[in-house]
Chains A and B, each alone.
Chain A
């Protein structure tokens, strides 16, 4: 048996699984997005029509799609830097030789990642309750008028962002900690001998050495944050006044509330396309940075 054939043999199980559970559904969904599969088609498949790119064209003309896209970008543009900042900050703190009880803090800060969104969302809804919430109580102590965090269209998204950042930063924190520990201590030693203070060490050693980690974390986080769904689903149901409807939430509503699976598939592919383009841009940017 030649090596190439053996290699294929070893690959076959994985390829089969990928094909059946990933490639086929994706192709099916792509096909579905070119049809008007809806309630009537569910009743009788003869009511299904092939409509080409009509779903996509319709979406581009729908104000709700654009506002959902706007909310999603808002979430990504504000949420990702906050999330990465929090991860890097806590990773640096935990990595500092001065920190005590490292294991405890590492576990405590990582804990939100492994909790269930729905369970903690319930607690957050209590925390951010207008009347009885701890957050407004604390604000009242310092004289700030109470805010309707989840009921006011202007505050709902910031609250969702805070929740998502708190929920997710621990994961990247662990990756950053691994990255930090991989930086050779000699570099810092040399810098100290040359008289570089902590900020300069951070800027000229830590950040450049963390760059590969940073790029990966950035891409994963951006892709993840574009798929905002569970947080608004459990906290606000897209409200108030549709101010927390994300692209994925729109897809869910179209698909499972109204059973317009054709439109929902089109939304999914639009989102895929956007994430794809943004990821390519990020990769291109990071490569340009390398060249410079």
Chain B
């Protein structure tokens, strides 16, 4: 709102100054860039845009905020109706879908000529989520991964001085923690309706999640089954409660009460714990990178990217905005506003990020994040994966049955993709 008012003001001032001097560019030269931003980022970016508009008086950014739960359908509807914006914030799992629609501008040529956007400065895993079939379509804006929050005091009481580094140590600690507590206490919280935890464990395996170029699910691979077994065992051994996050009303207080000394979650919880736990407990919790099968393991690379739409008449201006938002200091501002983690290593050099002890585990984890398969169907597949995994966690399916069921559902979802790849190679633009 604010940004827009400034924009009008500037246009008016420009027009007035032109009237006075009778020279310079025509007033109509100010170009309007439509920018769709989603959720909290949409609100926060409104504070970053005035500085961009000051730098580029010829560009006016029309920021439109979308809520997360409506953004996806709005983008698809906009494509169907030829009303896509110039530039948008896109959840990085949506890129493949919009690429399948040929809606996005390939960005490699822009990056090649850019001083501001340096691919080698980005964490490899998050950069790779923006590459579909080898071509680059988005620039990472912020990155999100999951790791372990843990209670130092409870671990110490159970006889462990350090958090686990591998699955064996993790299992041992969970067993010891659970043995010490009552029956309504657990070792870890793994909400059964969140796919990120199982997905993180699955990405730590060498087996890819889809096989034959994304034609079939690969969930019956030894690697995925190993991850699924580790996940399901936590529930079977009562180390994790079989609860969805909707059934856990206050995970922070319960973490504080030691109901689960481990909490497998994301960066936003750093702020939550600082706000919600009493001051006396602030030294008792910490974060640690995700343990892997043997030594520190991979994590998911989610987050949002900035993309330019194929139909945009203002690609050069849109690229300027991407460059501006990709600057390390602007990314630090975004971190200060929201706690969104920057995808660039240089942005992590700033004092606030470098000196925060809870963030260091995230910094380390970001070097080990891995992209998920870049197929448009991925979001549906991973939704089904979690629905089946939750059934296995409830004890309705064995690990082998669950793996086979996920493969069956994934193969059904990928049917059209197989047909496309096999029959219409020549027709694809």
B427 sits at the interface (CB 8 A): yes
Q: In the docked arrangement, what's the CA distance between A153 and B416, Å?
A: 34
Q: Which of A36, A131, A240, A258 contacts B380 (CB under 8 A)?
A: A258
Cross-chain contact B247 with A152 (CB below 8 angstroms): yes
Segment with Cβ contacts to B, from A26-34, A42-50, A82-90, A178-186: A42-50
Select one of A46, A151, A259 contacting B427, CB under 8 A: A46
Please report whether the interface of chain A is mostly helix, strand, loop or mixed according to DSSP: loop
Residue pair A39, B101 in contact (C-beta under 8 Å):
yes
Q: Is the CB of B69 within 8 A of A237?
A: yes
Task: Convert A131-163 into 0s and 1s, putting 1 for each residue whose CB lies closer than 8 angstroms to a CB of B.
Answer: 100000000000000001001110000000000
Task: Output the least CB separation between A255 and chain B (Å).
Answer: 9
Contacts of A259 in B (CB 8 A): 76
A257 at the interface (CB under 8 A from B): yes
Contact with B along A213-255 (1 / 0, CB 8 A): 0000000000000000000000001011100000000000000
In the complex, whether A130 has a CB less than 8 A from a CB of chain B is: yes
Q: Evaluate contact between B247 and A240: CB separation under 8 angstroms.
A: yes
User: What residues on B are CB-neighbors of A239 within 8 Å?
Assistant: 246
Within the complex, which residue of B73, B100, B193, B416 is in contact with A257, where a contact is CB–CB below 8 Å?
B73
Q: Does A66 contact B (CB under 8 A)?
A: no
Give chain B residues whose Cβ lies under 8 Å from the Cβ of A130.
249
Q: Determine the distance from Cα of A113 to Cα of B25 in the docked complex, in whole angstroms.
A: 56
| Given A39-B376, A151-B246, A239-B246; A47-B424 close (CB under 8 Å) | yes
Q: A43 is contacted by which of B102, B244, B246, B247 (Cβ under 8 Å)? A: B102
Q: How far is the CA of A59 from the CA of B247 in the complex (A)?
A: 29
Task: For residue B389, give the distance in angstroms from its CB to the closest CB of chain A.
Answer: 14
A151 touches B77 (CB 8 A): no
- Name, among A39, A49, A152, the residue most crowded by chain B CB atoms within 10 Å (CB to CB): A39
Question: Are B427 and A44 within 8 A (Cβ)?
Answer: yes
Please, which residues of chain A bring their CB within 8 A of the CB of B69? 237
In the complex, chain A residues whose CB is within 8 Å of the CB of B80: 42
- Chain A residue nearest to B192 in the complex (CB): A241
Q: If A130-B249, A151-B247 touch, does A49 touch B419 (CB 8 Å cutoff)?
A: yes
B73 touches A38 (CB 8 A): no
Interface string of A8-49 (1 = CB under 8 A from B): 000000000000000000000000000010111011101101
B97 in contact (CB, < 8 A): yes
Contact yes or no, A256 B416, CB < 8 A: no
Residue among A46, A47, A49, A240 making CB contact with B246, cutoff 8 Å: A240
Nearest B residue to A49 via CB reads B419
Residue of B nearest to A253 (CB): B73
A240-B246, A240-B247 known; A40-B77 Cβ under 8 A = no
Bound complex: CA of A167 vs CA of B406, how far in Å?
Answer: 41
Determine the distance from Cα of A42 to Cα of B78 in the docked complex, in whole angstroms. Answer: 12
In whole angstroms, how far apart are the Cα atoms of A38 and B247 in the complex? 34
Nearest B-chain residue to A261, judged by Cβ? B80
Interfacial chain B residues near A40, Cβ < 8 Å: 100, 416-417, 420
Give A44 to B76 CA distance when docked, in angstroms. 14
Instruction: Indicate whether A257 sits within 8 Å of B427 (C-beta atoms), given known contacts A42-B101, A151-B246.
Output: no
Interface of chain B: mostly helix, strand, loop or mixed? helix
Q: What distance in Å separates the Cβ of A234 from its nearest Cβ neighbour in chain B?
A: 11
Q: Which residue of B lies closest to A240 (CB)?
A: B246
> Are A46 and B424 touching (Cβ within 8 A)?
yes
Complex contacts, B73 vs chain A, CB 8 Å: 256-257
With an 8 A cutoff between CB atoms, is B29 at the interface?
A: no
Interface digits, B236-250 against A, CB 8 Å rule (1 contact, 0 not)?
000000001011010
CB interface residues, B 73-100, toward A, < 8 Å: 73, 76-77, 79-80, 97, 100
Contact with A along B350-390 (1 / 0, CB 8 A): 00000000000000000000000000100010000000000
Chain A residues within 8 Å of B417, by CB: 40
B315 within 8 A of A: no
Complex-state Cα separation, A40 to B429, whole angstroms: 12
Interface contact A148-B193, CB-CB below 8 Å: no
In the complex, A131 Cα to B250 Cα: how many Å? Answer: 11
Q: How far is the CA of A38 from the CA of B76 in the complex (A)?
A: 11
* Interface 0/1 of B408-429, CB less than 8 Å to A: 0000000011011000100111
Residues of A within 8 A of B420 (CB): 40, 47
Q: How far is the CB of A32 from chain B (nearest CB, A)?
A: 14
Determine the chain B residues whose CB is within 8 A of the CB of A42 once the complex forms.
Answer: 76, 79-80, 101
CB distance from A81 to the nearest CB of B (A): 29
Q: Of all chain B residues, which has the CB nearest A130?
A: B249
In the complex, how many angstroms separate the beta carbon of A269 from the nearest chain B beta carbon? 21
Indicate whether B327 reaches chain A with its CB closer than 8 angstroms. Answer: no
Chain B residues, CB < 8 A from A241? 193, 244, 246
Q: Give Cα A47–Cα B376 distance, bound, in whole angstroms.
A: 15
* B381 CB to nearest chain A CB (Å): 12
**Given A240-B247, A241-B193, A257-B73: A36 and B416 within 8 A (CB)?**
yes
Report the minimum CB–CB distance from B299 to chain A (whole Å): 26
- Contact check: which of B72, B376, B380, B429 meets A44 at CB < 8 Å? B429
Establish whether residues B101 and A43, one from each chain, have CB atoms under 8 Å apart when the complex forms.
yes
Complex Cα distance, B418 from A49, in Å, reads 13
- Distance (whole angstroms) from the CB of A45 to the closest CB of chain B: 10
Please give me the residue from chain A that is nearest to B73 by CB atom. A256
Contact of A148 among B72, B76, B249 (CB under 8 A): B249
Tell me the minimal C-beta distance from B397 to chain A in angstroms: 13
Contact, CB under 8 Å: B193 / A44:
no
For residue A43, which residues in chain B have a CB less than 8 angstroms away from its CB?
100-102
A39 in contact with B419 given A44-B427, A239-B246 (CB within 8 Å): no
- A/B interface sample: 7 pairs, CB < 8 A: A40-B100, A40-B417, A42-B76, A44-B427, A153-B246, A240-B244, A257-B73
* Chain B residues near A (Cβ < 8 Å): 69, 72-73, 76-77, 79-80, 97, 100-102, 193, 244, 246-247, 249, 376, 380, 416-417, 419-420, 424, 427-429
Q: A47-B424, A241-B244 are in contact. List 4 more A-B contacts (CB 8 A).
A: A42-B80, A44-B429, A46-B424, A240-B247
Chain A residues proximal to chain B, CB less than 8 Å: 36, 38-40, 42-44, 46-47, 49, 130-131, 148, 151-153, 237, 239-241, 256-259
Sort A-B residue pairs by CB-CB distance and give the 7 closest, nearest first: A240-B246, A151-B246, A256-B73, A43-B101, A259-B76, A46-B427, A257-B73
